[in-house]
Amino acid sequence: MSNSVRAIYRASLIFGLLFLLAVSSSAQDWIRTGTGLGVERVRLAAADFKGSNSDAKNPELLKTFNDVLWNDLDNAGIFDLVSKSFYPLQEPGQPSEVNFSVWSTPPPNTSMLAFGNLGVASGKVTVQGWLYDVKNTASPQVLGKQYADNATSEAVRVIAHRFADEIIFRLGGGIAGIAETKIYFVSERTGHKEIWVMDYDGANQQPLTKLGGISLSPRISPDGSRLAFSSVTKNGWEIMMYSFDLNRVVSFPRFGGMNLSPSWSPDGKLAISSSRNGYPNIFVMDGSGGNSHRLTNDQGPDVSPTWNRKTGSQIAFVSGRTGLPQIYTMESDGTNVQRMTDQGYAVSPNWAPNGQFLTFSWMRKYGPGEPGSNDLYLMDIASKQWVQLTHDSGRNDFPCWSPDGRHIVFQSHRSGGDQIWSMLADGSNVKQLTFKGSNTQPNWSWK
Amino acid sequence: MRIKKLSLQRSGLAISLGALMLLGACGKKVAPPPPPAPPPEAPAPTASLSATPNAVDPGQPVILAWQTTGATDVSIDSIGPVDPSGQKQVTPTDSTTYHLIAKGAGGSQEATARVTVNSNQGMQSTSNATEEQLFAQNVKDVYFDYDKYDIRASDQGSLQADAQFLQQHSNIRITIEGHSDERGSTEYNLALGTNRADAVKNALVQAGISGSRIKTISYGKEKPFCSVSNETCWQQNRRGHFVYEK
């Protein structure tokens, strides 16, 4: 009995190992390093930074810095963060204060230690931060950084994001962290649907547009210099363009009919849904609206295009050509249309940065008499195999990948109204980012 | 031994969990879920609606009476949800077409009853009424089935009446707004609303109205007429809405 049980366990272990090998040989970066279950995470301790002098402003800025740094490292999804309750009473503020054996053995038992100090002097803040491999006593320093800026909580927040991203880059397989990225979204908190922006963690929520009408579907350009969205004008829905160089809406061609749901290719072209010729179809054009031409030609409606963010050679979109909306892919010249979903109500596709996955919103069973749970899914494009990311949590829509491919931001009705949430790309570590008013259609910056 | 077994079991479990989560990546085949079983055959609902009398003076009562079978969700436009069978007294001030929808597991059925309100006062107010008021009284919105943008056979009559009114008032310009119910994606519903508005426009053009008098716009689910989450309300929101343009 015992032997047969052991044999089964051994077989399952071997299968698991073979499986992990298969995964790592196909080298999906977010799987290998990030959300990959069964992959050992780096054990990291992040000691609270200490004051380097006795300025009265230090405690407030230290609290901001330590909270933001901890939150960034926790959000990264690649660390086994050692709980602060395991830390020794004497936490280091600089290299000479590190007691290697205390950190590298239980209770902290950590591999890596982040520590440092912060001090304010004549309105300026200086932050020194280190990352140590505490099990390598001969040559422990992985990272040493110094930052200086105005002594404000906004500046300290940015410094903490930068230091977190340095650590994540070093320990996360060379993939840039996302702590300095932005999320664009639609908020109705002023009474109108306007385009807003916030930090990736929900901090610093600010309006970009004050058009007073209905603005939807914000999409930031790959270089971060422009934001395309759609808005109701006197003559219907048109694509609008916001310039971050000029900090205002700039002119963009008006096409007539309904123009909706812009999407940027990695080299700066746009795909939109336009009904200028009758039914809503997918059009592509250059980033200034020139050289526009139609890719699909059916009663559709065709809407919500998303480019393959890695290659720019394919576009996924939603079409109601057979009835309920389904997800399709095609080459960026409109050929080789492939239906990806086989049933239900599938909308809002977003292409992963690695080019291999789509995430989208799907009511797999939908129609009269069906309860219709509206969940997010992840699909491997080559095989059309999918996994469900959200479960039993209200209506979820508009998923969008983070630039590191480890996170997904989305809108969810789970708290009673529509709000923006983020999660790791395996569906774990779900966090609410917005709370005021109704907030929808999040779009993550490319870097 | 027991501890070792347990930890082996746990790691085996963790790895298979990992395998489950990563299925999308390695292309391991999982049988697709079976197609949903066809729902059991349910009899199609029946519905009838009558108005007595069918011609009155303004302020005179009219008895609406209706009967349905096989329906779980019955509603009458301008009244709202009603019992499967029943009657109700109404006092229309203008000629009105009462429209009943009965929905059940076997589909949906509709019935209409027309009440003509005739009076000298009516004639007078008609001659004094502005064109915009006449438009509001006479031009009826068009309603759509769920996720559909074709004009229902039952709506052809009211659409022809709309066309007739527009033919008689040839200087009126209109905007047709396409609307959807609250379910589903913002973007897809805007596209669907575009097709609905276009379907209404195309029907009017076929009935002889010049396309240059008609603008269309979709509001998708952005401007609902009714904000309750039930089929009666959703039906109210799936419409082509006529707006008078000066």
Q: Identify the CATH number of the domain in which residue B228 sits.
A: 3.30.1330.60
Are residues A419 and A311 both part of a single domain?
yes
Last residue of a domain, one of A171, A198, A217: A171
Return the higher-pLDDT residue of A256 and B35.
A256
Are residues B79 and B136 both part of a single domain?
no
Are residues A61 and A203 both part of a single domain?
no
A6 is a domain residue: no
pLDDT of residue B77: 78
CB contact under 8 A, B147 and A193: no
CB-based contacts of A156, cutoff 8 Å, min separation 6: A61, A64, A65, A68, A118, A125, A127, A149
pLDDT of residue B204: 97
B26 is a domain residue: no
pLDDT tier at B67, thresholds 50, 70, 90: confident
pLDDT of residue B34: 55
State how many domains chain B has.
2
User: Is some CB atom of chain B closer than 8 A to the CB atom of A371?
Assistant: no
CB pairs under 8 A between A and B: 172
Element of type H or E holding A319: strand A314-319
CB contact under 8 A, A31 and B22: yes
A33 is a domain residue: yes
User: Helical H runs in B42-185?
Assistant: 120-128, 131-138, 156-168
Are residues A293 and A353 both part of a single domain?
yes
Tell me the pLDDT tens digit for each residue of A267-283. Answer: 999 999 999 988 999 99
Are residues B60 and B103 both part of a single domain?
yes
Are residues A135 and A36 both part of a single domain?
yes
pLDDT of residue A392: 76
Are residues A156 and A304 both part of a single domain?
no
CB contact under 8 A, B30 and A217: no
pLDDT of residue A155: 97
State how many domains chain A has.
2
Tell me the pLDDT tens digit for each residue of A393-443. Answer: 889 999 999 999 999 999 999 998 999 999 999 999 999 999 999 999 999
Instruction: Give, in degrees to the nearest 5, the angle at Cα B169 between B165 and B174.
Output: 80
> Residue B113 corresponds to which tokens in the numbers above?
């009853």
Last residue of a domain, one of B69, B98, B121: B121
Are residues A144 and A195 both part of a single domain?
no
B105 is a domain residue: yes
**Packing angle of the helix pair A153-171, A58-75 (nearest 10 deg):** 30
User: Is some CB atom of chain B closer than 8 A to the CB atom of A406?
Assistant: no
Are residues A145 and A221 both part of a single domain?
no
Residue A370 has pLDDT above 90, yes or no: no
A17 is a domain residue: no
Are residues A276 and A233 both part of a single domain?
yes
Are residues B116 and B150 both part of a single domain?
no
B28 is a domain residue: no
pLDDT more than 90, % of chain A: 85
Are residues A241 and A149 both part of a single domain?
no
CB contact under 8 A, A260 and B187: yes
What is the 8-class DSSP label of residue A182?
Answer: E
For A91-118, the DSSP string reads: --SSGGG--HHHHHSTTT--SEEEEEEE
Are residues B153 and B190 both part of a single domain?
yes
How far away is chain A from the Cα of B8, in angstroms, using its nearest Cα? 7
What is the 8-class DSSP label of residue B85?
Answer: S
- Decide if A409 contacts A389 (C-beta within 8 A): no
User: Is some CB atom of chain A closer than 8 A to the CB atom of B41?
Assistant: no
B211 is a domain residue: yes
pLDDT of residue B33: 57
Are residues B117 and B225 both part of a single domain?
no
Element of type H or E holding B5: helix B2-21
Residues in B touching A228 (Cβ below 8 Å): none
Domain extent at residue B225: 129-246
User: Is some CB atom of chain A closer than 8 A to the CB atom of B42?
Assistant: no
Scanning every residue of chain B, which has its alpha carbon at the shortest distance from the alpha carbon of A230? B187
pLDDT of residue B23: 40
How many angstroms separate the CA atoms of A64 and A157, rounded? 7
- Return the half-sphere exposure (C-beta side, CA atoms, 13 A cut-off) of residue A178: 28
Tell me the pLDDT tens digit for each residue of A138-175. Answer: 999 999 999 999 999 999 999 999 999 999 999 998 99
Tell me the pLDDT tens digit for each residue of A227-271. Answer: 999 999 988 999 999 999 999 999 999 999 999 999 999 999 999
How many angstroms separate the CA atoms of A296 and B46, rounded? 41
**Packing angle of the helix pair B156-168, B186-206 (nearest 10 deg):** 60
**Packing angle of the helix pair B131-138, B156-168 (nearest 10 deg):** 170
Last residue of a domain, one of A133, A149, A171: A171
CB atoms within 10 A of CB A338: 13
CB contact under 8 A, B195 and A279: yes
Are residues B135 and B239 both part of a single domain?
yes
- Give per-residue burial for A217-235: e unless 16+ CB within 10 Å, then b: bbbbbbeeebbbbbbbeee
Residues in A touching B23 (Cβ below 8 Å): 385, 387
Last residue of a domain, one of A138, A171, A204: A171
Q: Which of A19, A299, A440 sits opposite B26 (nearest CB)?
A: A19
pLDDT of residue B119: 53
Are residues A354 and A217 both part of a single domain?
yes
CB contact under 8 A, B184 and A426: no
Instruction: Return the CATH number at A58.
Output: 3.40.50.10070
CB contact under 8 A, B195 and A299: yes
How much is the mean pLDDT over chain B? 79
pLDDT of residue B129: 78
Scanning every residue of chain A, which has its alpha carbon at the shortest distance from the alpha carbon of B192? A301
CB contact under 8 A, A380 and B27: yes
How many angstroms separate the CA atoms of B20 and A387, rounded? 8
For A128-148, the DSSP string reads: EEEEEETT-SSS-EEEEEEEE
pLDDT of residue B29: 44
Domain extent at residue A245: 182-444
* ipTM associated with this complex: 0.87
User: Is some CB atom of chain A closer than 8 A to the CB atom of B153?
Assistant: no
CB contact under 8 A, A324 and B147: yes
pLDDT of residue B42: 67
Residues in A touching B195 (Cβ below 8 Å): 279-280, 299-301
B246 is a domain residue: yes
User: Is some CB atom of chain A closer than 8 A to the CB atom of B222?
Assistant: yes
Residue of B1, B4, B17, B22 for testing the chain A interface, max A β-carbons within 10 Å: B22
User: Is some CB atom of chain B closer than 8 A to the CB atom of A187?
Assistant: no
CB-based contacts of A73, cutoff 8 Å, min separation 6: A44, A46, A79, A81, A114, A164, A167, A168
CB contact under 8 A, B187 and A216: yes
pLDDT of residue B27: 38
Scanning every residue of chain B, which has its alpha carbon at the shortest distance from the alpha carbon of A343? B35
Last residue of a domain, one of B89, B121, B153: B121
CB contact under 8 A, B187 and A302: no
Residue B227 has pLDDT above 90, yes or no: no
What value does the mean pLDDT take over residues A359-383? 84
Are residues A290 and A163 both part of a single domain?
no
User: Is some CB atom of chain B closer than 8 A to the CB atom of A184?
Assistant: no
Tell me the pLDDT tens digit for each residue of A78-115. Answer: 999 999 999 999 999 999 999 999 999 999 999 999 99
What value does the mean pLDDT take over residues B74-82? 81
Instruction: Return the CATH number at B99.
Output: 2.60.40.10
> Residue A269 corresponds to which tokens in the numbers above?
């072209």
For A157-175, the DSSP string reads: HHHHHHHHHHHHHHHTTTP
Residue B196 has pLDDT above 60, yes or no: yes
Tell me the pLDDT tens digit for each residue of A24-56. Answer: 333 333 333 334 445 578 999 999 999 999 999
B11 is a domain residue: no
Are residues B67 and B152 both part of a single domain?
no
Q: Which of B8, B23, B190 sits opposite A9 (nearest CB)?
A: B8
Are residues B192 and B238 both part of a single domain?
yes
pLDDT of residue A10: 42
Are residues A129 and A217 both part of a single domain?
no
CB atoms within 10 A of CB A360: 26
Residues in B touching A368 (Cβ below 8 Å): 146
**Using alpha carbons only, how large is chain A's radius of gyration in Å?**
24
User: Is some CB atom of chain B closer than 8 A to the CB atom of A318?
Assistant: yes
Q: Which of B5, B183, B192 sits opposite A320 (nearest CB)?
A: B192
How many angstroms separate the CA atoms of A82 and A111, rounded? 10
pLDDT tier at B80, thresholds 50, 70, 90: confident
Are residues B225 and B139 both part of a single domain?
yes
CB contact under 8 A, B23 and A426: no
